[in-house]
Amino acid sequence: MFRLADFRWVCPIRNHFCRAARWQIILLLVGVTAWLWGNAVLAQAPVQAAVQTGPLQPGQPGAAQAGRPLFVNSLPLLLNPERPGETRLGRLDYLGGLILASADKDFGGYSGLALDADGAGLWAISDRGHWLRLELQADAAGVPAGVAAARLLSLHGQNGALLEGIWSDAESLRRGADGSFLVGFERRHRVLHYPPDGRVSLVPLPPEVQHLPYNGGLESVAVLAPDESLLLIGEESLPAEEGVSPVWLRRSNNDWRRLSLRRHGDFHPTDAVGLPDGGFLVLERAFRWLDGWGTRLRQVSAAALAHSLASGAELATETLAEWARPYSNDNLEAMDLRQGPDGQRWLYLLSDDNHSRFQRTLLLVFRLPAAPDTAEFR
């Protein structure tokens, strides 16, 4: 049996490095134990989500189905547990956040997010093939402080068929100005359109999309101002390309344009959302065995997008924030924007816990830097 006390004998070099490595293992085991204990406490915390008994409103996903209510517990989330008063992250201001958990076995795996305009609720899409509807409680500033009600709804495809198996791997979600939803899938790469009347349809895509890697498909779907242009970003590179993620932009005339987003380091795009001026944000994620999760937020301005469309050059970006431990982090895959009660742009991020006991479902809320334009959110 391997014991930590005997680590010095299995270490090939008996020096201070081996002793440091032994302490790293001890600290890792302590951290895992604390993590499991914290999850157990959260799972047994007083329930903050009441059962939603009323029917969903027409035009919402799954409005024809009753869905299944569930209990979702929540705890407040600090930006930096080592410095509780810290609220600045790059060019972002942290407003607050929640750790979300549920004893329901289906809860988790959320890769796409769509907010209500007033922030009172949200829709999330799971890579296990269901919708999550949350009604949120807010504090005096309008920041989420808890969950008032929660419900799971089945994800259906064309002709009302229930999506299961490899056909249910939903990775992106975006709501249009007309209230419809777009859902992007990987493994079976495609985008489905969910209009208010419930008639699900397949969105015609460029043939290149089908050449995306099996598990590196359409993680990002965005709708851009001012003409509702559709933006798609692949998580991984196409064959014969290296270091860039493919970007497709469909203008209102149904003409697809191909662009490229250069990846830096080990970060890969996991979501995108349009800005009022016609630009967009890109959320990126990295994982390192020694450091854990890393997150980066980049911005593509309307001018940079126009330049790339005119010249064919790679998209120029500006990094707004990049973080890892000790800042609160996980597999952040989903984001959306809304105009906050202070008139500024509020960014919501949601993590995919991969249905793992060693990960968490986090909801973080940031305020973006003041925008130079006065365009309204749609």
Q: Residue 67's pLDDT is what?
A: 86
**Tokens found for residue 186:** 């990987």
Largest distance between two CA atoms of the chain:
70
Phi, psi of 294 (to 5 degrees): -125, 145
On whether the CB atoms of residues 155 and 130 are closer than 8 A, the answer is yes
**Cβ atoms < 10 Å from Cβ of 43:** 11
pLDDT of residue 112: 98
Distance of CA 372 to the CA centre of its chain: 26
Q: Which domain holds residue 149?
A: 45-367
Q: In which residue ranges of the chain is pLDDT below 70? A: 1-66, 372-378
Q: Alpha-carbon distance 19 to 277, whole Å?
A: 55
Cβ neighbors of 296 (< 8 A, separation 6 or more) are 267, 283, 284, 285, 286, 319, 321, 322
- Spatial neighbors of 221 by CB under 8 A, at least 6 apart, are 112, 172, 173, 174, 182, 183, 184, 191, 230, 231, 232, 272
Helix or strand (DSSP H, E) at 17: helix 16-43
Residue with tokens 């060693």: 358
Q: Is residue 89 in some structural domain?
A: yes
Domain count, the chain: 1
Inside any domain, residue 312: yes
Indicate whether 26 belongs to any domain. Answer: no
DSSP string, 312-330: -PPPP-EEEEEE-TTS--S
Residue 127 lies in a domain: yes
- Give the DSSP letter of residue 302: H
DSSP 74-91: EEE--S-TTSTT--EETT
Reduced to 3 states (helix: H, G, I; strand: E, B; else coil), residue 371 is coil
What CATH number should be reported for the domain holding residue 95?
Answer: 2.115.10
Q: Residue 351's pLDDT is what?
A: 98
Nearest to 179 by CA among 341, 57, 346, 344: 57
7: in domain: no
| CA triple 104-107-112, angle to 5 deg | 165
Tens digit of each residue's pLDDT (9 = 90 or more) over 109-161: 999 999 999 999 999 999 999 999 999 999 999 999 999 999 999 999 998 99
- 142 inside domain: yes
With respect to residue 15, please indicate whether it lies within any of the assigned structural domains: no
Q: Tell me if 6 is assigned to some domain.
A: no
Omega cis (within 30) before 226 = yes
